[in-house]
A and B are shown apart, each in its own frame.
Chain A
């Protein structure tokens, strides 16, 4: 409109004879002009600007699309020098080809979940991902999302009217979020030597459920069994290579027991099912003996890993507005997930150490680096440092963590009266079991001061009785004295390697593959949280740090040891380096075990993305050395042909210290 008007004005001005009084016009013009300009500048400029940005954007997009797809690679090569061939290409040149069918078993958190039936608020999300993918619904409707992701607090199964199910197929866990690979790199490399969907299978399952419940609700175990049988029979009888990751390792352990157990509780595959169908189990970063992280997650919803959720949605979780509530919401949700309890440290004090000693006592973060440069110095530097009490997985206060065991005056919390919470109805909407615990209970917990692995289960049962009641029906954390005891036929022992025997399959091979060289949570220093309404009464004391610069074992209230950032070396490596090595009572048929460690080397620059030599818990799936190992085994190699053990950490030394009847 303004344009039109201006044009008319201009036309009038060009013909001076037409207007009656040119002077008058001159007078009035500046004002009008200004008015016009103002009109133009306000809304139109905005439009113009947006238009300009859009056009530029499209232009760039267009150029980007025109760009040959090899261009980024070319740039990377120009900067960093030509990268090594991806293992798929390399091995293909060597003549390797697909032989054994491959089964992937994803871990906790990394696999996608989608909605099949929901409440009113979840309309339009049918078969959309609630977990994995873009997490769009977390932002749009957080409470609705939380409600649908939670399970029933009593049964550990679906709440009424909600059905959230695992995504199936390779897409279930190839990428966790757009651009954040999990299995994708491995899949792509396997495809290069000839794998495709008929020879590759993603055994996705609902990772929130306890293992046996995945069978009860979804028949996940039956589906895996049937699929493995099918793949073995259609691939000319070549046995399958199983590749579980993280919690998938425990899940598959459970599967192996389940499949050979007789029908009502088990899969009825007969005692030689595993021997017939499985060539090798290649555990990647397996928390076979649990992870301390699970404890802090359950205790105060604070560990780093469960907070993958936090990393995904930092805004939502740490916003001031929500801050107090978010952790509780998170805790409320995660405490309905039985699977988190499968990763509570197993084996008690025998494995994880008691108040005074632990297998990793002599660990020095800087030691390995020193070792490489100057070995002689190693011996002399050791006596200087203070002993770390890794055995005290939770201790209240830094002084307790460092004190000698005789100085700690513990008051038993078991059976303590929890007292009545003064609490109030304001917190009822965000319900955690801390709500039912009064000051008495909180005090009792803090006064026990130091908790070792053996105490943890009791501690958790004390603070979260309902959750543990549900969990203890599905999981067990002890060490079996007599494996012939008929009670060990129950499924709750199947995922604990210290309470089950491996199947009778002498030709099967087990690999423990994990990253080393990253500080990994091992023990925590807790403090009582300042009292506030609806608050979790305990939290990690982030002020507790080591004074010395050099060995940073203790940092922000967390004692670290060697591991892959999530799983300590001990948990990932002990079974394969000692517990199952040779014919032990846990491995009666004496199947071969191999430990393959991958030293962590962070990516040199950001162009490499998450790196091809990473040892981190998830990023290791893009580690070329690991991929190569897997591919060789899938193409028919044995563990000995790979080169047997490959060890960088002190795992053998530490295992030796653990006195376990074998």
Chain B
């Protein structure tokens, strides 16, 4: 129904613009649904093509990589009862890729395990399947990601697009199609899910679904969906402050704030209870079981940072040796405080003036501050801030492009290790091409160009050149022996500085937004 509305509305606009000057007349002549279908098939094609390439840890015993982790979880969940999944035992050696995601991931692994078992039983048999790498096994595993993407992420994006563009007043049909392409062909997500091998599409898809539900004022559905996302990957908590504050802010504005809040709370608790049911059975064991699972989910023993992630702790560790100066316990508190403080402004904004647009900015800000300041962040977590940035692509086309560029760049060393340079290059080029699709938004690009002063554009140009040179250097040159991780550190530094700037910009933008809204209202009153 939302779709039809969008269709009608945008149809009128297409009429205004002369048909002749639109290059995409053939793509957008039918409904948005048809264009979406077309782009999603293309997106699936790209995903399948990426999945031909190696996954993380391919042919690299004894620990392999994320692919083996996911396969191992299928093996565990398929062969053991639910209670044993998170418990270390002779059968379930947690030091070998023990399950460290919430139960929804485990259930998903179970379902996918069933699929694998029906075609290739050897790939998920207990013990004997460790390090199982075959042609068929790889294909089946790849297809599980592909199907999850098509079943969760794609419909969620469709839902989001149809809701978002009915509320938006200035969308041309070509813009909507462009937005769909940006969402479905996000190079980072494709590289991590279909190249490196993970199931981010599920948790991110659920989050997008929740966002769509919030934009269409269905708070209860949104709570359920976001709780599911949270229970698929605990990293979804990066978005939690934004959801919390937006919903709270909205509830406080209604007749019965307490009732509204308790309704939402009940739904969230109910969803949690359903998902954690196997661990809530007997009252005395509850605590033990929960602690077991929770301790698996929060791996504090792994330290405040790993590898070379472009966040605050890792970057400043060049100057301040955090790990040596503080104990893990204090570091936990410090990082928590830093995270909360950094996302406080956007939270407060949403509490004071909850709005759909502000909510999207809030998502971006809270996930960025988690990425930058929270404990134990992985390079791949940049996917989380990137998602709301993509949702806002039409509002902020240039910053969005810049963030995608940096996100890709920050994952470059990781993808190099996975031997995914070729898909990296191809998807990078594809993204750039799609972003600069000919004939797109001729009116807006002129206005947004004026936003940038010449100094800024020169700076950005320089940074592009820098990152390009760094790519080449990273691929072709060997670092000096004394500093084996020199290039990684430089990449990290560059990305971190830009992420910080970006975070400041988006925070400012969010506050400015509320200001503008209030002034608009005042004007109306006058």
**Are A and B a genuine interacting pair, yes or no?**
no
Q: Which residues of B contact A (CB under 8 A)?
A: none
